[in-house]
Amino acid sequence: MNGQNDRTEGLSLKSHLDKAVKVLSQAEVPDASIDAWYLLSYVTGYSRAGYLLHENDEMSERQAEQFHKLVDQRADRIPLQYLTGEQEFMGLSFTVNDSVLIPRQDTESLVEYALPYTKGKKVLDVCTGSGCIAISIAMLGEPEQVDALDLSEAALQTAKGNAEHLGASVNFFRSDLLEQVKDKYDVIVSNPPYIPPTVIQGLMPEVKEHEPLMALDGGDDGLVFYRRLAQEAKKYLLPEGMLFMEIGCEQGKQVKALFEEAGFGKVQVLPDLTGKDRVVWVCG
């Protein structure tokens, strides 16, 4: 991947951008031109319009060095969001790093389904990662209280940082699933790890080599965390409490069955924006 960028002094922004697109295309990065543009914008601070006004300007040596370092990292298939350090979710900007899953649009469906039920309520987010679900609910759902847990200390630090910079009030604590939970909640939300290891092997390098395995790996059949939640969640739900969980699009039937077998009365599988099964909604 390296070695293609050694002669870059004196080149225009446009030439640097063209070079970057070439490097990323050769590395088979999906959306090479878009990612090259985002990295250029990140380094120079230019919007698209600003860039068009200055595309023939020379890039400073310092910026060129930073830019091509990032391009090489992207060519090594490090996700764009880990390089720029941010991802938007529910219209809010989250800081991300390789200790947390990059928030996905699919997960916005989970938040959208839960939001109508959080006003004045006590909410718990299980496996909070970057904190994207808990923080969105704290900021958009007018809850009385939001608690959020994760097993990973590094994830909790990232989530705390996000809550702080967005001004959200969330209490974070470390717990292996529900083990350390003391309270009872009206709404429990979770996007637990749900991908079977055999499937992880076939995912894009960005995901399988760079996102935290512990946030992806749902055990042999991908259902380990749903099984545990089905057994343990009841103790932590207030009367009329409910549970919203993200699922893999082929897991609807099995997850629904797990919760029905555990004695939950009303279990529904709900779609995401593309019509795929994405959320299981359980009422206690």
- Residues forming contacts to ligand GLN in the complex (CB under 6 A) are 101, 103, 107, 127-130, 132-133, 191-193, 215
Of 40 and 255, nearer to ligand GLN (C-beta) is 255
Q: Write down the least CB distance from residue 121 to ligand GLN, Å.
A: 19
Distance of CA 102 to the CA centre of its chain: 3
Specify whether the CB–CB gap between 198 and 139 falls below 8 A. Answer: no
Cβ contacts of 175 within 8 Å, gap of 6 or more: 149, 150, 151, 181
Distance between first and last Cα of the chain: 54
Cβ of residue 146: shortest distance to ligand GLN, in angstroms? 13
State the residue number with the nearest CB to ligand GLN: 129
Whether the CB-CB separation of 236 and 182 falls below 8 Å is answered with: no
Least distance from ligand GLN to the Cβ atom of residue 189, Å: 8
What is the C-alpha separation between 111 and 136, in angstroms, rounded?
Answer: 7
Rounded CA gap, 182 and 66, in Å? 47
Cβ distance to ligand GLN smaller for residue 193 or 284: 193
Q: Residue 21 or 189: which CB sits closer to ligand GLN?
A: 189
| Residue nearer to ligand GLN on the CB measure, 4 or 254 | 254
Q: How far is CA 82 from CA 98, 157, 206, 281, in A?
A: 7, 16, 10, 31
To the nearest whole angstrom, how small is the minimum distance from the Cβ of residue 73 to ligand GLN? 22
Nearer to ligand GLN, 23 or 279 (CB): 279
Q: How far is the CB of 107 from ligand GLN (least distance, A)?
A: 4
In angstroms, the CA 257 to CA 198 distance is 23
Asked if residue 148 lies in contact with residue 171, where contact means CB atoms within 8 angstroms, the answer is yes
Tokens of 35: 């990612």
Closer residue to ligand GLN, CB minimum distance, 126 or 242: 126
Residue pair 154/130 in contact by the 8 Å Cβ criterion:
no
CB of residue 103 to ligand GLN, shortest distance in Å: 5
Q: How far apart are CA 81 and CA 96, in angstroms?
A: 7
The least CB distance from residue 54 to ligand GLN, in Å, is: 36
Residue 44 or 99: the one with the smaller Cβ distance to ligand GLN is: 99
